Amino acid sequence: MLIKVKDLSKIYKTNSSVNKYIKVLNGISFDLEYSTVLGIIGESGSGKTTFAKILSGLEDYDKGFLEIDGKNISLFDKKEFSNTVQMIFQNPYASFNPKLTVGYSLSEAFDKNIKNKEDLIKAKLLLVGLENDILNKYPHQFSGGQRQRLAIARALLKNPKILIADEPFASLDVQSQNVIMDIFKKIKQEKKTNLVFITHDIASAFEISDKILILQNGNLVKYDTINNIREYKTNDYVNELISSNYLME
Ligand SMILES: Nc1ncnc2c1ncn2[C@@H]1O[C@H](COP(=O)(O)OP(=O)(O)OP(=O)(O)O)[C@@H](O)[C@H]1O
Ligand SMILES: [Mg+2]
């Protein structure tokens, strides 16, 4: 299995004196096979980003266990996390240091002793449809969509097993969204890096994913293949979430 999650729970402390703790993830269990794009959908506050952060080592969990490629993530150090899971975020404007050229930022993704950095960078830029001559430019010289492409290129430089995209379209116009979706489709085809795609947008989740996981208030309410989810209407919440969608032919 690429990802094995068993009984995963996460509790956050709040500032409220009434409810001091909130359970953000509540006993999540599922297995994800290799080469299977996972779409995670669910309302705002359902725990999607929290799960992504746990999977990428940015956040601890309170209970349960999580394995990536057969190894318990509690054994991962920072470096192993960054070589295994990369995450790109909603806001591409915050993802690059404004004072550094993007070439410098991209080359920082590598360990010092790696050779052929330039060739590796070139290959990833090609994948995201950017020219090599952008390397001397600074982040402010790029559009939001271009920055998101740069963020994807940088994430892929480590050839991670998993690339998590958390609402990658949120701050982009439709045209840029389409460009990024095409890049995700290429990544899916290459089968080197497995995508985990988190979104509010059910149509785009169905477009790219093989399996869909639906979260509601920290609970896993549905985890199945796209086809099964389309075919079997099992649960009122699932129906409500996806019935208004044009993809439910
Ligand atoms: N650092 C934190 N401290 C306390 N509570 C938090 C923290 N981060 C998230 N939460 C709470 O955990 C819950 C889940 O948040 P999360 O960001 O995982 O939701 P989400 O599904 O990604 O939502 P959205 O679609 O709005 O991005 C929310 O109730 C949120 O307020
Ligand atoms: Mg979120």
Does the pLDDT at position 230 exceed 50? Answer: yes
Ligand 1 pocket check for 52: Cβ under 6 Å: no
pLDDT (0 to 100) of residue 93: 73
Closest ligand 1 atom to residue 215 Cα is: 21
Rounded-to-integer distance, Cα 193 and Cα 3, Å = 13
Mean pLDDT of 200-214: 92
**Closest ligand by atom to 50 CA:** 1
What is the average pLDDT score of the chain?
90
Closest residue by Cα to residue 152 from 137, 161, 165: 165
Our mutation pick for probing the ligand 1 site, out of 50, 167, 213, counting the most ligand atoms within 8 A of Cβ, is 50
Expressed in angstroms and rounded, the spacing between residue 41 Cα and the centre of ligand 2 is 10
Confidence of residue 100 (pLDDT cuts 50, 70, 90): very high
**pLDDT value at residue 201:** 83
Do residues 74 and 68 lie in contact, with contact meaning Cβ atoms separated by under 8 Å? no
Residue 12 CB less than 6 A away from ligand 1: yes
Please indicate whether residue 48, judged by its CB atom, sits closer than 6 Å to ligand 1.
Answer: yes
pLDDT of residue 236: 65
Q: Quote the ligand 1 centre to 222 CA distance (angstroms).
A: 20
User: Looking at residue 228, what is its pLDDT?
Assistant: 87
218 alpha carbon to ligand 1 midpoint, in Å? 10
Note the residue count of the chain. 249
How far, in Å, is the centroid of ligand 1 from the Cα of 49?
Answer: 7
> SS3 for 145?
helix
205 three-state secondary structure: helix
Whether the predicted pLDDT of 248 surpasses 50: no
pLDDT at residue 238 greater than cutoff 80: no
Measuring from atom 31 of ligand 1, which residue has the nearest CA? 45
Residue nearest ligand 1's atom 5 by CA: 12
Least confident of 13-22, 97-106, 211-220: 13-22
Q: How confident is the model at residue 233 (pLDDT cuts 50, 70, 90)?
A: low
pLDDT at residue number 246:
40
Q: Is 183 exposed, middle or buried (0-12, 13-18, 19+ CB in 10 A)?
A: buried
SS3 percent helix, strand, coil of the chain, rounded to 5, is 40, 25, 35
Q: Is the CB of 45 under 6 A from ligand 1?
A: yes
Tell me the one-letter amino acid at 149. R
Domains of the chain by start residue, with CATH = 3-243 (3.40.50.300)
- For the segment 122-132, what is each residue's pLDDT rounded down to a tens digit? 999 999 999 88
Tens-place pLDDT, residues 16-74:
888 889 999 999 999 999 999 999 999 889 999 999 999 999 999 999 999 999 999 99
How crowded is residue 135: how many other Cβ atoms within 10 Å of its Cβ?
18
Does 95 or 174 have the greater pLDDT score? 174
pLDDT in tens, 115-160: 888 889 999 999 999 988 899 999 999 998 999 999 999 999 999 9
Residue pair 108/150 in contact by the 8 Å Cβ criterion? no
- In this prediction, residues 192-208 reach a mean pLDDT of 92
Q: Which ligand is nearest to the CA of 41?
A: 1
24 CB near ligand 1 (under 6 Å): yes
The minimum-distance atom of ligand 1 relative to the CA of 42 is 21
- Rounded mean pLDDT of 72-83? 94
C-beta of 57 in contact with ligand 1 (< 6 A): no
Question: Alpha-carbon distance 50 to 25, whole Å?
Answer: 8
More confident residue, 237 or 173: 173
